[in-house]
Amino acid sequence: MPILKNAKKALRASQRKTVINTQLRSKMKTAIDEMKKSPAADKLSAAFSAVDRSVKKNIVQKNKAARVKASLSKLLGK
């Protein structure tokens, strides 16, 4: 456990951010899985939106997001 006051504050902030980041990552993965199970244009839009939000919040890198979006687009093209 942290001893210094600023370390305690950093620990609290880290715990808050962990919860938020986990929720965002989960929403993104759920949207991607739904799109993979049954491809549709509205699900593609929702998945793209979730991936873009994750990039904006630095949950995933820009290149990974581009790769995921490309693979989802290919599913819809079939």
How many domains does the chain fold into?
Answer: 1
Whether the CB-CB separation of 42 and 34 falls below 8 Å is answered with no
Q: What is the CATH number of the domain that holds 10?
A: 1.20.58
Q: Is 26 exposed, middle or buried (0-12, 13-18, 19+ CB in 10 A)?
A: exposed
Domain assignment of residue 58, given as a range? 5-77
d(CA 76, CA 78): 6
pLDDT tens for 2-60 read 999 999 999 999 999 999 999 999 999 999 999 999 999 999 999 999 999 999 999 99
Whether the CB-CB separation of 31 and 60 falls below 8 Å is answered with no
Give the predicted TM-score (pTM) of the model. 0.85
What pLDDT is stored for residue 77 in this prediction? 81
